[in-house]
Chain A
Amino acid sequence: GENVEQHPSTLSVQEGDSAVIKCTYSDSASNYFPWYKQELGKRPQLIIDIRSNVGEKKDQRIAVTLNKTAKHFSLHITETQPEDSAVYFCAASKEGGSQGNLIFGKGTKLSVKP
């Protein structure tokens, strides 16, 4: 089955710097790749997603890139702010896209220091 690897497990940056989190997936049939932000004890919040027919997507300070050949995708956060501090999860799905089961990475704890 699908396996999603996520790196790094922790990431500390200074406010204003950029943060990059990388994920790889194993199943070439996966076609939907969302990123979630989870604050302690709360539900994951979808922050951006990308489908396999697109190589890059941007939403203000957040961008996601997808390399289908290499089977990896990355989250880029620019001009980080303290409120960006949270755990970020990548995920992959092949059945039903956003309506299907998601296989999650292990998460990255991002700390943005003021």
Chain B
Amino acid sequence: GAVVSQHPSWVICKSGTSVKIECRSLDFQATTMFWYRQFPKQSLMLMATSNEGSKATYEQGVEKDKFLINHASLTLSTLTVTSAHPEDSSFYICRGVGTEAFFGQGTRLTVV
């Protein structure tokens, strides 16, 4: 059935490096992808909204040059955390929306 597949599920990277997170919509087309960040014991906070073929819209306080979002097709959206720092360590999760809406599995990012 329809689902959003997010990879990787967890990643550890060194400070200063970049990490790419992928969300693929399977058996449906995600015209919109919402990207959320969730710190421990906190709620999901919207980072940005991307529509296929358009530039992402970022929430206030989210650096667009640091969190690069690409939504080039109806089945793939990516979030790249550039020059990652320990404070970027968090749980990142996408939510693909088409005729239905599905969350990805989430990615636990740890920056050391």
Contacts and interface: CB of A to CB of B under 8 A. Distances in A.
B67 interface: no
Instruction: Tell me what chain A mostly uses at the interface: helix, strand, loop, or mixed.
Output: loop
Given A99-B32, A99-B97, A101-B49, A44 B44 contact: yes
Q: How large is the interface on B (under 10, 10 to 19, 20 to 34, 35 or more residues)?
A: 20 to 34
Given A98-B101, A99-B32, A101-B49, A43 B93 contact: yes
Given A41-B91, A43-B93, A99-B97, A89 B43 contact: yes
B34 A42 contact: no
Contacts of B100: 98-99
Nearest to A45: B103
Nearest to A89: B43
Interface stretch (B13-21, B68-76, B104-112): B104-112
Given A41-B108, A42-B105, A44-B44, 7 more contacts: A43-B106, A44-B93, A99-B32, A99-B99, A101-B34, A101-B49, A102-B34
